[in-house]
Each structure stands twice: as C-alpha cells, then as structure tokens.
A and B are shown apart, each in its own frame.
Chain A
C-alpha cells in the first residue's frame, strides 16, 4: 500500500526563522506536488516537481525532489505570518496524471 508521510505534522515557528517540512513516499514516482490550504479554503497549487533533483522556488518557499530517496522537502526561509497554513505533499503514483495520494498535511503557524 502506498504511503505518503509528512513530518512534522504541526510546526510552530517564529517569524524570521528557517525550517524544513519533509515528505516521504513508499513507491517509485517522479511526479510530486505541494499544495497550500488556508483554514476553510480549498487547496492551492504551490509546486510541481517532475524529476529527480528538481528544485523550485517561489518567494520564501523552496521545494526539492529526490526520487531515489523517495523524499521531497519544502524549505521555508525567514518565515512570515502570511505563510501560516497547512501544507500538503501529494504523489502521482502512476506518473500519468491520475489520482494523487496525499500526505497528512503539516499545519504551520508562524508567530511574531
């Protein structure tokens, strides 16, 4: 059974600090997605990672993918309050645009 595991599940940070969220998955795939969800809202696509070694950055967020280790990371640099949200990674297990298997989500709270 495919598992997608994120850690930590809860993260409380101070503004200005750096931190990394980890996403491990248990099957081969080179399609990994990161989404953001604000409370009461739907999911917003952040990054699409398509191959081993892929790295993408947007503002204070940077995502990377290591398909050999079956690991993706979402790195937060100099956190600000606006980044407070829940972050999900998701794996396309068939690499064909089918269903996504989601991690549990990481609830991030950035405090002043």
Chain B
C-alpha cells in the first residue's frame, strides 16, 4: 500500500513569510508525528497526534510553529514568520498499534530553505 506522503518535497521561502507543509499518513494509522532534521541539531521531535487525544506539542521550538490534524488523517505543519534557522528537512511519520508497539513509518520529507 501507499506509504506516508509529504508535500511539497522542496520549499524555498523568504525570511518572514509563512509556510505550510502537508503530510498524508498511511491509511488506518492513528498516530502522526512531525520531526525536523538539520545538520546542527540532528533529528528532533516536534509534535505528535494520537487519535482524538490532545497533541503532544512539547517539541515545538517556538510559538511560530503550529500543527493540526484534520479528520484524524492529513496534517499540516505551519511555520509563521520563517527564520533562517528554520531551514531543515521536516519529516512526518505515522503509526498504529500492532502487537503492542507503534512502529513509525517515515515520509520522504520536505526540505525547507529560508533565504
């Protein structure tokens, strides 16, 4: 079946602009995660949605970052007033409980460049 998809694959934006990144999880997966990968910081957790529970936003680096998940499926990560340090690859993952574990499957990522 189809894996996790993300769009756009690449995004170049000017400092100060807002951007929206989209994630389509694997059908039937109840959990959805956003991570960020950059040279200086490695792989960082951003936010996690599980079913109808309140999301775990503990990894969001500032209030310029927000995410929503509509209808328990597609998610959008929004970065307002982008800064150069926001440049990174943004990875989305999804999972469901199977045999007592939640194995996360990652999408191809969105490479964000802030100029």
Chain A bound to chain B: yes
A residues whose Cβ falls under 8 Å from a Cβ of B: 31, 33, 35, 41-45, 48, 50, 88, 90, 92, 96-105
B108 on the A face (CB < 8 A): yes
- A97's partner among B35, B102, B107 (CB-CB below 8 A) is B102
Complex-state Cα separation, A33 to B106, whole angstroms: 13
Q: Are B50 and A97 in contact (CB under 8 A)?
A: yes
Task: Collect the chain B residues with CB atoms within 8 Å of residue A105's CB.
Answer: 42-43
Q: Are B43 and A102 in contact (CB under 8 A)?
A: yes
Interface residues on B, range: 20 to 34
Which DSSP category, helix, strand, loop or mixed, fits chain B's interface?
strand
B residues whose Cβ falls under 8 Å from a Cβ of A: 31, 33, 35, 42-45, 48, 50, 56, 58-59, 91, 93, 95, 97, 100-109
Nearest residue (CB) in B for A43 is B106
Task: Collect the chain B residues with CB atoms within 8 Å of residue A48's CB.
Answer: 101, 103
A-B contact pairs, 11 of them (CB 8 A): A33-B103, A43-B106, A92-B102, A97-B101, A98-B48, A99-B33, A99-B45, A99-B59, A100-B33, A100-B45, A105-B43
